[in-house]
Amino acid sequence: MLNAMEAKITSVVADGLQSRPSVTVLQAPTPLTASAGNGAIRVSLAEWAFSSSGFERDQIAFSSVTASHRIFAVSFKANLEFLRIPAGPSTAQMLTSRALLLEDMSLVNHYLADDDIRSGKLFQSAAPDPGFEVLSFELAKGSLPIGLANIPLSGLLEYRGRANIWPPNVSEEGCAA
C-alpha cells in the first residue's frame, strides 16, 4: 500500500521532469547519486499517521459493486531530496550548478502545484486495486543550504498529503476481492 503510493509519487515527479534529461528521479532507498554536471531527486514517504484510532463505520470504500474495503485515512509527508553535482570545482561551475538546482526545484514545485496533483487525481493508479487513494498533496516547505561549500549541492521539498489505504485484493469481509 505505502510502497505502491511512494512508487506512484515517484512516477508522477519523473513525468513532470521529462524535459530535464540531466535529472534522474529515484524512489527511496536508492542511493542519491549523480555524475558531474547532473542532478538527481530521491522521493520517499517520510512519515504518516492514521487520522483516527481505528476503523469507523464510514471508513468503507467500494471499488466495485461486489467489493468493498475497510480503509484507514492517513496523513503523510513525502520528501523530495534534490542533488546537483557541479561540473567542476570552480566557483562559476558551482554557481551554475546551484542555479540548475534551483531550477530543478522550481520546476518540480510548479508541476506538483497543478490542481489534478493537489487534489490527488493524477495519483490514481492503473492497477485495478492499488491499495491507496491520494486525496490531497501540497507543498509544506522547501529548503536549500546557502553556502557554496556544500558539495554536492542539495535541497529538500517537503509535501504533505492525505490518503486512504487498504490491503489490495482483500474485501471488507476478508475474502479476496
SS3 at position 148? coil
| pTM value surpassing 0.75 | yes
How would you classify the pairing of strands 23-27 and 39-50? parallel
Distance CA(98)–CA(148), nearest Å, equals 8
pLDDT digits (tens, 9 = 90+) for 55-105: 455 555 545 444 577 788 999 999 999 999 999 989 899 899 999 999 999
pLDDT band at 175 (very low <50, low <70, confident <90, very high): very low
Domains with residue ranges and CATH for the chain: 2-165 (3.30.2000.10)
**What pLDDT is attached to residue 137?**
97
C-alpha cell of 59? 471508513
**Residues 145, 156: contact at Cβ < 8 Å?**
no
Give the number of residues written for the chain: 177
pLDDT at 9 over 50: yes
